[in-house]
Amino acid sequence: MPRPKSNDKPAKTPPGKIMLSEIQEQPEAIARLLDREYLPVWEMAKSWRETPPRFIFIAARGTSDHAALFAKYLFETMNGIPVGLASPSIASIYRAKVNMEGALIVGISQSGEAADVISVLQSAKRAGVDTLAITNAGSSKLAAAAHQVILLHAHPEKAVAATKTFTNTLASLVLLSAAIGDNTRLLAQLQRVPQLIEAVIKDAAQIQEKVERFRYLEECVVLGRGYNLANSYELALKLRETCYVRAQAYASPDFLHGPIAILEKGYPVIAFANKGVTLFSVLDVILQAKARGAEVVVIGNAPEALASADVAFTVNVKQTVPEVISPLPAIVAGQFFSETLSVLKGIDPDKPRGLHKVTVTL
């Protein structure tokens, strides 16, 4: 038997290598999702095209819950279907019997192991209500609990911080919205997303080069509105879990209703600002924050907002990007920011302290 040589030890993966490669896989992962799920989702939505659900109720946790927040704006705006975000304890702990007649109940979990999310689907199914699971794990308990499944096809995600499963979940929701609304224009817009993300990846150095300035960042707020509100929550979570930064997300108008008092000279404010009907309102908050001396970081494609920033992370400024799909490339810029900052701070974003890939809550 050969004696182990001293250099036979398994090579240590450099900090952040897994998260970085999963960020870079996103164009391919979304293209795969669209390729594999386009026909099944269009077929699945046939009955909902004829009789749309009376409302959609979504259960999810963490990053998946942020995708659910995006879905609220998406289905209400594009399909006119009201969306509620579930409090899973209503089913899992209170065991309440809520009247869900005519609804579509959606559970989102990349791992498919979220017990409380599963209990929402199980109780809906027992009541004879339509259920749908959106997951990256086809043989998971979540998939088994639902009538229908949309698979994310993101391939296994190993870094604790979710990246590609988030964008694939957003893409699957846009696909479902297009299928329910028979909206081929939205579908065509969605098909451009892999290219748009590819452009963010090619341009990642402009983000990575500016991160040194944030080495000692301990606290910040992250703002967004409408379709981009979910991104604020998602980036704040990424900054908390991978950089241990106390990041708090707000809808930009909510920020004006009290929290803005926190601002003082140099306080970091990160804002998602993409072209679209919400831009004027985000811009207004950016200008108010600047007037109070905040250090403003803008992520997005809106030139006027980027020009007013102290630090600008530009995303697809040369392309025309409809607001509805703008969160997908924009969050990729946020993912690069979090990953680079984490490594700069001496943290391994692939394995943040005390966290596991799957967190099961009841």
Q: Which positions touch ligand AGP (CB under 6 A)?
A: 61-64, 109-111, 114, 160-162, 237, 241, 358-359
For the stretch 94-99, contacts whose Cβ atoms lie closer than 8 Å and that sit 24 or more positions apart, written own/partner, are: 95/123, 97/127
Distance, CA of 175 to CA of 169 (rounded, Å): 10
Q: Which is nearer to ligand AGP, 93 or 358 (CB)?
A: 358
CB 70 within 8 A of CB 327: yes
Residue 114 CB, shortest distance to ligand AGP, in Å, is 4
Q: Which is nearer to ligand AGP, 64 or 177 (CB)?
A: 64
Q: At 73, which amino acid appears? A: Y
Q: Which is nearer to ligand AGP, 20 or 186 (CB)?
A: 20
User: In sequence order, what DSSP letters do the residues of 300-356 get, joined into one string?
Assistant: ES-HHHHHT-SEEEE-STTS---GGGTHHHHHHHHHHHHHHHHHHTT--TTS-TT--
- Residue nearest to ligand AGP according to CB distances in the complex: 62
First to last CA, the chain: 49
Residue 315 CB, shortest distance to ligand AGP, in Å, is 20
Distance, CA of 82 to CA of 76 (rounded, Å): 5
Q: Which is nearer to ligand AGP, 60 or 186 (CB)?
A: 60
Residue 163 CB, shortest distance to ligand AGP, in Å, is 8
Q: Which is nearer to ligand AGP, 111 or 167 (CB)?
A: 111
CB 232 within 8 A of CB 224: yes
Residue 167 CB, shortest distance to ligand AGP, in Å, is 12
Residue 330 CB, shortest distance to ligand AGP, in Å, is 17
CB 147 within 8 A of CB 285: no
Q: Which is nearer to ligand AGP, 37 or 157 (CB)?
A: 157
Distance, CA of 358 to CA of 211 (rounded, Å): 29
Residue 6 CB, shortest distance to ligand AGP, in Å, is 36
Q: For the chain, list the strands marked E by DSSP.
A: 55-60, 83-85, 103-109, 130-135, 148-151, 219-224, 246-251, 268-272, 295-300, 311-314
Q: Which is nearer to ligand AGP, 142 or 260 (CB)?
A: 142
Residue 249 CB, shortest distance to ligand AGP, in Å, is 13
